[in-house]
């Protein structure tokens, strides 16, 4: 049995499982690179109907369409190649995480020179090869790394990659199992996207009073505000009228002469809608004055007051339960609602509503780093209904978020399970019985 996917590159260090063999990809597939027609010749591009893939398209994984187009004449007068369906496409270069990413085309297409195609020969299942290379993404990147980590892959490197190959029926069975996991992952991701759209629609309607719950409506008339029309029985106010604003100056340092505390920092706010005790807060220290002033209370809303990007100003979270010894850190502001006027969870959601949040980006000062002043926060406007209606709206949106969180956890679980399964199936740690009459490839 092969111990780890990483050793699949070197047959001298491992012996294959019974009935498997170790081969070079180049001995079992044809490899070609793409090309780009001359951009100086318009007839190679204008009104083109030949799909032409760029390296960034590999992130789609299953390629059914791409934006790029060239003409048949452009294809014939360049090194681009028209590729058959089910070629394995590898990004040779590209920004970010692109290099080393693997995809498979489900339509005939061509590619630019930053994408290589591996066209399996008889005896090598394209789906098995796709999963095999997809599982070795990090290793592909290591093979391609040059000076400063900016190297690229090439056809020679790909041809000489070792691959542990089971018999064809077993290849197909392994690929079929992994494709089932991909379907579950894709459907879960689609469901999360649908829930996100539902929440977006709910916020649009509930936070403006366009849709209201029975028992709270005092009038059907509307009034005009800078955020659009809202019910006449709703209010408009500056933040200073509904909450106390506190700018924290507690840093991440630990001083032996100070009191140990747990610090809620910038990323805790940026990544979480709800601050709870179970978060992994940073260990720090603070003096008694800072503890008295910046200890977080249930229903406190925390916002980012500084950022390198103006659009990330006023990202909001809410303290949803009593915390133990947690204080607000630097670059953050506490908005402490007046309890008889404003609900903290409603305020948090309101600050995520784009027309409200965008005013903070406009109010932020700076060129390379943006920041809010306490006056700019206090003078920002909010719209709101009665406290009972706020709580009702907040409970609906929170339920929506809880449902999304559940499916996001499931998605992460499915992805990890697939990763573990790939490791075991592709190394022969788990053997599968192929179908008695495997389908033809």
**What tens digit of pLDDT does each residue of 375-412 get?**
999 999 999 999 999 999 999 999 999 999 999 999 99
**Do 71 and 121 belong to one domain?**
yes
- Report helix, strand or coil for 40: coil
Domain count, the chain: 3
Examine the domain organization and report whether 261 and 323 are in the same domain.
Answer: yes
Q: What are the structure tokens assigned to 361, written together?
A: 């980006």
Q: Are residues 34 and 180 in the same domain?
A: no
By mean pLDDT, which of 234-248, 369-383, 426-440 is the weakest?
Answer: 426-440
Whether pLDDT at 251 is above 50: yes
Full residue range of the structural domain in which residue 76 is found: 5-165
Q: Which residues contact 88 (CB under 8 A, 6 or more apart)?
A: 29, 102, 103, 104, 117, 118, 119, 120, 126, 129, 130, 133
Considering the domain architecture, whether residues 193 and 282 belong to the same structural domain is answered as no
From 88, 178, 96, 89, select the one nearest 141 (Cα to Cα): 96
For residue range 158-193, list pLDDT tens digits in order: 999 999 999 999 999 999 999 999 999 999 999 999
Q: What's the CATH number where 318 sits? A: 3.90.220.20
Residue 108 lies in a domain: yes
- pLDDT, mean over the chain: 92
Tell me, yes or no, whether 368 and 423 share the same domain: no
- The total number of residues shown for the chain amounts to 441
Q: Torsion over CA of 120, 121, 126 and 131, rounded to 10 degrees?
A: -70
How confident is the model over 287-301, as a mean pLDDT?
97
Residue 11: the pLDDT is: 53
Judge if 278 and 394 occupy the same domain. Answer: no
Same domain, 254 and 341: yes
Provide, rounded to the nearest whole percent, the portion of the chain with pLDDT above 70.
Answer: 93
Helices (H), 332-429: 344-352, 354-363, 374-378, 387-426
* Mean per-residue pLDDT, 235-249: 97
Q: Mark whether 380 and 420 lie in a shared domain.
A: no
């Amino acid at each position: 049995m092969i111990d780890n996917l990483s050793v699949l590159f070197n047959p001298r260090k491992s012996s294959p499982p019974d009935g498997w063999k170790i081969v070079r990809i180049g001995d079992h597939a044809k490899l070609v690179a793409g090309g780009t027609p001359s951009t100086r010749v318009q007839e190679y591009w204008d009104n083109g109907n030949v799909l032409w893939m760029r390296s960034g398209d590999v992130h789609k994984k299953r390629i059914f369409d791409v934006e790029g187009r060239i003409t048949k004449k452009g294809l014939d007068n360049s090194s681009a190649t028209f590729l058959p369906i089910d070629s394995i496409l590898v990004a040779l270069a590209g920004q970010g995480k692109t290099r080393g990413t693997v995809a498979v085309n489900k339509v005939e297409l061509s590619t630019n020179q930053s994408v290589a195609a591996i066209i399996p020969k008889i005896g090598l299942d394209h789906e098995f090869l796709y999963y095999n290379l997809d599982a070795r993404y990090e290793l592909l990147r290591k093979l391609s790394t040059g000076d400063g980590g900016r190297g690229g892959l090439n056809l020679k490197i790909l041809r000489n990659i070792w691959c542990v190959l089971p018999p064809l029926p077993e290849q197909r069975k392994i690929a079929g199992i992994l494709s089932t996991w991909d379907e579950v992952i894709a459907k879960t991701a689609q469901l999360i996207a649908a829930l996100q759209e539902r929440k977006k629609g709910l916020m649009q309607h509930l936070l403006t009073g366009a849709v209201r719950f029975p028992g709270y409506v005092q009038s059907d008339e509307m009034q005009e505000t800078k955020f659009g029309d809202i019910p006449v029985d709703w209010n408009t106010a500056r933040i200073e009228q509904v909450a106390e604003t506190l700018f924290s100056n507690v840093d991440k340092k630990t001083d032996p002469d100070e009191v140990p505390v747990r610090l809620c920092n910038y990323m805790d706010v940026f990544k979480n809608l709800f601050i709870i005790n179970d978060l992994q807060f940073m260990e720090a220290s603070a003096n008694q004055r800072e503890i008295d002033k910046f200890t977080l209370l249930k229903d406190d809303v925390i916002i980012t007051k500084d950022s390198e990007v103006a659009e990330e100003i006023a990202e909001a979270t809410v303290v949803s339960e009593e915390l133990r010894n947690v204080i607000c850190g630097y670059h953050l502001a506490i908005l402490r609602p007046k309890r008889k006027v404003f609900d903290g969870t409603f305020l948090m959601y309101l600050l995520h509503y784009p027309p409200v949040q965008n005013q903070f980006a406009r109010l932020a000062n700076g060129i390379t780093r943006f920041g809010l002043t306490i006056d700019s926060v206090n003078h920002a406007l909010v719209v709101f209904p009665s406290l009972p209606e706020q709580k009702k709206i907040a409970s609906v949106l929170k339920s929506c978020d809880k449902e999304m969180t559940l499916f996001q956890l499931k998605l992460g679980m499915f992805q990890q399970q697939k990763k573990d399964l790939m490791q075991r199936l592709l190394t022969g740690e788990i053997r599968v019985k192929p179908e008695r009459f495997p389908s033809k490839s």
